[in-house]
Amino acid sequence: MKKILSLLLITALLAAALAGCGGKTGEAEGNTPAAPSASAKTHLNIAADWASVPDIYDLSNSWTCMRIGVTESLVHFGEDCSYQPWLADSWSVAEDGLTWTFVLHPGIKFSNGAALTATKVKESIEAVYAAQDPAAGGAGDIYTFMEYTSISADDEAGAVTIVTKEPVPDMPGVMAYPLLAITDVAANAERDLLVDGPIGTGPYTVVSYTTDHDYQLAKNPNYWDGEVPFETVSWVCVSEPGSRYQALLDGSADIATHIQASDLPALRDAGYNISIVAGARDGYYHVNFEGPLGNDALRKAVFMAIDDETVCAITTGGSYTAGYTPLAPIYTQWGGEKIPDPAAYNPEQAMKILDDAGITDSDGDGWRELDGKNIELVYVSNTSRQMNEISQAHAALIQAIGVNCRVQTVDSQGEYMRSGSFDMVNSNEMIIPTGDPSNFLSHWYTGSGTGYNYARYSNPEFDRVYEALKPEIDTDKRNEYIAELNRILTEDCVLLLGGYYNFNICSSAAVTGAINPACDFYWLTKDIKPAA
């Protein structure tokens, strides 16, 4: 009897669960976004896809400090990725092309009330270079952007002068990069930086941080650029896109980042604000030139087997826009729209190329061989930003032309990249980290070594143009070189593009100003305000 009762109870529970799941697509249609309350909203809830440590001396974690509105830098990227004043009002370069002077905006204070002086800026930059110094065991990332011979500070004039070792044409962009955000080094020394966060000049300060879970932020009482709209902010890491979507729907979050494209129509219909930017971030694969894909015919056939339009539009639900040039055609100055696709989707042609190159299935096992050996291409892929779905779709399409291919899902691809244990390894990268793609393009420069040139690509023509680009200050000339590099990489089928990522920030009607910037360094800003 008891057993029958248990069975009935379970059946009833299941029926209830099914009833819960059985709603029509996009439950949001029945809901309305949280309406602005009558009283002023003083607390903001953000469901973000990450909450990494507030480590201002680490390349990727420094982004977090800027995204949560704690740190700011001398220069800001505008909507079109142009250089805009931020902590610095202006900047100039001397005729030698090496001496840069940044003049600070007067009256700025750190969140602890200390004045932002030229000396503080100098100390902040020096601290980053010291922490990143490869000779002292540092990661050395910042040295790939710029190396200086001296920095001097003039507190009276509020000017910082940096003399670089070599010409750095994108110097304002380098100073806009989050790793060079300005913090109060002396005050930082008294804090446990990885828990308490740095002392910066941003609109918010860190109250508490729970590792990989949440930031509790409070208004910076000394903020220099107008009134800070919210007294407190909860920035919670919700790693599942579906859960972030749900958090928006049920009102537990006012803002959510990276909502899956398939869920966006329901949000849009329900009146939520959706801000999308495409082009600044590539979801792509480094192709290992030291493996089977070093064979030109095989590589071209593999590229040709990829139906990128379908993968981007259907498999990712529109989270990516299809393309084939490393630098998206929306950046017209880099000539993407003029470069023909050398490997447009054509599986029949791909198979013909393989047959002509003698890459055939001679042992009858269903898979083609290269030089008498079975080919098994390995996609090393993480799950971030739907890259795993793209990898699986690619693998299926490559198998369709008779080339064996499998996906190896990993948490982090870094070790695979450096060791070369891959045929294709995914990356999801900001292509214009300094407003200029030269750092991104150095992935394929032989001078970068295998620690950055993961593809082990070597092309003297590419190297020659890259070396010409590096010191060039003239913008038009730089654009010419970049366009040339864009063409070489495309024609050589060097990087397999998954698509241009359509990054989004969604917000309820309770807030305004949650705008997704072209350079995704700025998420929580002073411009996000309670709806009037």
Partner 1 sequence: MKIKAVFSFFRSHKGVAIYGALVVIIALIAVFARVIAPYDPIASSLRDAFQPPSAEHLFGTDFMGRDLFSRVVFGTRASLSSALLLVVASMVIGGLLGIIAGYAGGAADAVIMRVCDAMLAFPDLILAIAIAGILGPSFINTIVAILAVSWTKYARLARSMVLKIKKRDYISAARITGSRTSHILLSYLIPNALPTLLTTAVLDIGTTILSVSSLSFLGFGIQPPTPEWGYMLAEGRNYMMTYTWLMLFPGLAIFVTVISFNLLGDSVRDALDPGYRKHKLRKRILKEKRAQSLTPGRRTT
DSSP class of residue 386 equals: G
Query: Under the criterion CB under 8 A, does residue 407 sit at the interface with partner 1?
Result: yes
Nearer of residues 79 and 376 to partner 1, judged by Cβ: 376
Binding to partner 1 by CB under 8 A, coded x per residue (else -) over 381-400, reads --x--x--x--xx-xxx---
Query: Under the criterion CB under 8 A, does residue 49 sit at the interface with partner 1?
Result: no
Query: Under the criterion CB under 8 A, does residue 27 sit at the interface with partner 1?
Result: yes
Angle among Cα 234, 388, 266 to the nearest 5 degrees reads 55
Residues in CB range of 152: below 8 A, 6 or more apart: 122, 160, 161
User: Considering only 119-127, 258-266, 274-282, 324-332, which stretch makes contact with partner 1 by CB under 8 A?
Assistant: 258-266
Q: Please check whether residue 212 is in contact with residue 121, taking contact to mean a CB–CB distance below 8 angstroms.
A: no
Query: Under the criterion CB under 8 A, does residue 266 sit at the interface with partner 1?
Result: yes
Query: Under the criterion CB under 8 A, does residue 508 sit at the interface with partner 1?
Result: no
Query: Under the criterion CB under 8 A, does residue 315 sit at the interface with partner 1?
Result: yes
User: Considering only 7-15, 31-39, 192-200, 285-293, which stretch makes contact with partner 1 by CB under 8 A?
Assistant: 7-15
Distance CA(151)–CA(171), nearest Å, equals 14
Q: Considering only residues 99, 112, 119, 262, which one is a binding residue for partner 1 as defined by CB under 8 A?
A: 262
Which residue from 315, 240, 260 is spatially nearest to 504, judged by alpha carbons?
260
Nearer of residues 58 and 263 to partner 1, judged by Cβ: 263
Nearer of residues 287 and 395 to partner 1, judged by Cβ: 395
Q: Considering only residues 8, 25, 113, 363, which one is a binding residue for partner 1 as defined by CB under 8 A?
A: 25
| Touching partner 1, residues 237-256 (CB under 8 A) | 240-242, 245-246
Nearer of residues 393 and 485 to partner 1, judged by Cβ: 393
Q: What are phi and psi of 431, to 5 degrees?
A: -85, -15
Angle among Cα 374, 377, 378 to the nearest 5 degrees reads 135
Angle among Cα 487, 488, 492 to the nearest 5 degrees reads 115
Distance CA(379)–CA(388), nearest Å, equals 9
User: Considering only 29-37, 51-59, 225-233, 306-314, which stretch makes contact with partner 1 by CB under 8 A?
Assistant: 306-314
**Chain Cα centroid distance, residue 379:** 20
Q: Please check whether residue 432 is in contact with residue 519, taking contact to mean a CB–CB distance below 8 angstroms.
A: yes
Q: Please check whether residue 401 is in contact with residue 305, taking contact to mean a CB–CB distance below 8 angstroms.
A: yes
Which residue from 55, 64, 46 is spatially nearest to 195, judged by alpha carbons?
55
DSSP 131-169: HH-GGGT---HHHHH--EEEEEEETTTTEEEEEESS--T
Number of residues this chain uses to bind partner 1 (CB under 8 A): 37
Nearer of residues 27 and 154 to partner 1, judged by Cβ: 27
Collapsing DSSP states into helix, strand and coil, what is residue 460? Answer: helix
Query: Under the criterion CB under 8 A, does residue 307 sit at the interface with partner 1?
Result: yes
Shortest distance (Å) from residue 242 CB to partner 1: 5
Shortest distance (Å) from residue 241 CB to partner 1: 6
DSSP 489-518: HHHTT-EEEEEEEEEEEEE-TTEE-----S
Residues in CB range of 325: below 8 A, 6 or more apart: 336, 339, 486, 489, 490, 497
Nearer of residues 389 and 492 to partner 1, judged by Cβ: 389
Query: Under the criterion CB under 8 A, does residue 136 sit at the interface with partner 1?
Result: no
Nearer of residues 262 and 275 to partner 1, judged by Cβ: 262
Residues in CB range of 506: below 8 A, 6 or more apart: 248, 255, 256, 257, 259, 264, 267, 272, 273, 274, 275, 514
Distance CA(261)–CA(318), nearest Å, equals 6
Nearer of residues 25 and 37 to partner 1, judged by Cβ: 25
Nearer of residues 12 and 157 to partner 1, judged by Cβ: 12
Query: Under the criterion CB under 8 A, does residue 19 sit at the interface with partner 1?
Result: no
Query: Under the criterion CB under 8 A, does residue 10 sit at the interface with partner 1?
Result: yes
* Residue 324 Cα distances to 77, 477, 495, angstroms: 26, 24, 9
User: Considering only 107-115, 130-138, 325-333, 406-414, which stretch makes contact with partner 1 by CB under 8 A?
Assistant: 406-414
Shortest distance (Å) from residue 249 CB to partner 1: 8
User: Considering only 2-10, 124-132, 462-470, 512-520, which stretch makes contact with partner 1 by CB under 8 A?
Assistant: 2-10
For tokens 């299941």, the residue is: 14
Nearer of residues 392 and 428 to partner 1, judged by Cβ: 392
Query: Under the criterion CB under 8 A, does residue 133 sit at the interface with partner 1?
Result: no
Binding to partner 1 by CB under 8 A, coded x per residue (else -) over 442-461, reads --------------------
Shortest distance (Å) from residue 194 CB to partner 1: 24
Write out the residues near partner 1 by the rule CB under 8 A. Answer: 3, 7, 10, 14, 18, 21-22, 25-27, 240-242, 245-246, 260, 262-263, 266, 307, 310-311, 314-315, 317, 383, 386, 389, 392-393, 395-397, 406-409
